[in-house]
Amino acid sequence: RRRLLATAGATGLVLGAAGGAVGYAAAPAGATPLTSLGADRAMFHGKHQPGITEGLQARGHLVAFDLAAGASRKEAAALLRRWSTTAQRLMAGEAAAQDDTDVARDAGPSSLTITFGFGNSFFSRTGLEKQRPASLDPLPDFSSDQLDKARSNGDLWVQIGADDALVAFHALRTIQKDAGSAAKVRWQMNGFNRTPGATAHPMTARNLMGQLDGTRNPKPTESDFDKRIFVPASGSADPAWMANGSYAVVRRIRMLLDDWEKLSTGAQENVVGRRKSNGAPLSGGGETTAMDLEKTDAKGALVVPINAHARIARPDQNGGAAMLRRPFSYHDGIAADGTPDAGLLFVCWQADPLRGFVTVQRKLDRGDALSTYIRHEASGLFAVPGGAAEGEYVGQRLLE
Ligand code: HEM
């Protein structure tokens, strides 16, 4: 009854399992088979954890946990084992191991990914200080930060993404129940992206400012991709348990949409340095045309303004600093002042956060044109170990 179909995703191989999700009752005879969207499946086991190089999913939940007082390395290891079992089952479209809530019944895995990380505070709580990577040193303060500490950092972090809202919620609820008495939720955020298939052909995603966002992301086909995004298996200053892992920087960035939307399209384009319609650099061409940083207009002014976001954030302006941006948009309703509580759950991945996020954010913090229209409201930095091999749980190399 199980049909496997391989679809080449934007950045990796996704396997689809259709014809009745294993673990739930088989679909009744004559039932409509799952569409490819429901059947699409990412793999739990592998060199890297899922949820890093896969294409953006339509729904996302970010959740951080703190270990319960008195919970030790032993409880943490048991929790990561439970979470890994859940991730493996749910990503295959199976029911949870215990007391499944039926919320995802009838749907396939819908490209579900579940990704686990450790925050700085995890290591002192579990007596593992010697294993704490130097890259987990707290991020520096930036002058424009307006961070809510209660919604920042945490001992453990879980990123959930799926192309179906019920599948994503089901995973979130199961992960939370698995925590039991070992850990409690510290903060939780909900995000979304455009649903795959909504555009006539695959396109770079748009954010809530209406810009194409992700154009210049490093691509897995580039020769330096792995070096930029993943900790090497050997020869780095990172502890051995981080081999093939990555560091995730999470920023909840509020967009001041009432102010932004008052700008003309031309003014908005000057803020970023790219056209809204197709993401092309203001210096000309299409989305993938190289930006001409020197080009001037008839009056001698730079065509891509000196403070344009996409000029300042470029690796060649930051000693090569690069990161893989894999965000979700968010909308949490209307704030007390009547403005939309909406923006970007900015998640970026890199082998070294000091060389990636920190270098670029220091530069943007000096005042890129976008800074006027955004506000960083929460922050997290997490060490995301490599993927689990068959029979292993995520983080086993740290916790055993
Ligand atoms: C590029 C939007 C925050 C780093 C871009 C682009 C847009 C954009 C529209 C041009 C298209 C592209 O290449 O993706 C935003 C918005 C933000 C935000 C709306 C906040 C709400 C940040 C932050 C960082 C960052 C916090 C890192 C500290 C980058 C980088 C590029 C970029 C590295 C690519 C530059 C290049 O290589 O050409 N961003 N961005 N962005 N952004 Fe942001």
216 lines ligand 1 (CB under 6 A): yes
For the complex shown, is ipTM > 0.90? yes
CB neighbour list of residue 82: distance below 8 Å, 6 or more residues apart: 178, 180
CA nearest 52: which of 246, 252, 322?
Answer: 246
Give CA–CA dist 203/331, Å, rounded: 22
Q: Which helix (H) or strand (E) holds 272?
A: helix 265-272
Q: What does pTM read for this prediction?
A: 0.94
Largest alpha-carbon pair distance within the chain?
71
Q: Which residue has the tokens 């930036």?
A: 142
Distance of alpha carbon 192 from the chain centroid: 11
pLDDT at 35: 80
Question: What are the counts of helices (DSSP H) followed by strands (DSSP E) for the chain?
Answer: 10, 12
- Would you say 20 and 8 are in contact if contact means Cβ atoms under 8 Å apart? no
- Cα distances from 71 to residues 113, 209, 262, 345, 367, in angstroms, run 27, 43, 51, 30, 43
The C-alpha atoms of residue 72 and residue 70 are separated, in whole angstroms, by 6
Q: How many CA atoms lie within 13 A of 283 on its CB side?
A: 17
- pLDDT in the model for residue 198: 95
Does the annotation mark 213 as catalytic?
Answer: yes
Does ligand 1 come within 6 angstroms of the Cβ of 344? yes
What value, to the nearest 5°, has the Cα angle with vertex 205 and ends 201 and 210? 115
Ligand 1 within 6 A of CB of 271: no
Mutate to test the pocket of ligand 1, among 216, 277, 355 (most ligand atoms within 8 A of CB): 216
- Helix-helix angle 73-91:165-179, to 10 degrees: 160
Cβ burial 239-268 (10 Å sphere, 16+ → b, else e)? bebbbbbbbbbbbbbbbbbeebeeeeeeeb
Coil, strand, or helix at residue 135?
helix
Six token digits for residue 193:
């992206």
- The pick from 256, 282, 309 for probing ligand 1's pocket by mutation, whose C-beta has the most ligand atoms within 8 angstroms, reads 309
For residues 328 and 194, the answer to whether their CB atoms sit within 8 Å is no
For residue 136, the 8-state DSSP code is G
Please tell me which residue in 213, 238, 352, 368 is annotated as part of the active site.
213
Separation of 153 CA from ligand 1 center, angstroms?
22
CA distance 291 to 311: 8
Which of helix, strand or coil describes residue 182? Answer: coil
- Kindly write down the DSSP assignment for every residue of 73-121, as one continuous string: HHHHHHHHHHHHHHHHHHHTTPPPSSS--STTTTS--TT-EEEEEE-HH
Ligand 1: centre distance to CA 379 (Å): 17
Strand bridging mode 246-255 / 340-350: antiparallel
List the chain pLDDT tens, one digit each, 400 residues.
Answer: 222 323 333 333 344 333 333 455 455 566 667 888 999 999 999 999 999 999 999 999 999 999 999 899 999 999 999 999 999 999 999 999 999 999 999 999 999 999 999 999 999 999 999 999 999 999 999 999 999 999 999 999 999 999 999 999 999 999 999 999 999 999 999 999 999 999 999 999 999 999 999 999 999 999 999 999 999 999 999 999 999 999 999 999 999 999 999 999 999 999 999 999 999 999 999 999 999 999 999 999 999 999 999 999 999 999 999 999 999 999 999 999 999 999 999 999 999 999 999 999 999 999 899 999 999 999 999 999 999 999 999 999 999 9
Contacts of 267 (CB under 8 A, 6+ apart): none
Q: How far apart are CA 67 and CA 73, in angstroms?
A: 10
Q: Which residue lies with its CA nearest to atom 14 of ligand 1?
A: 214
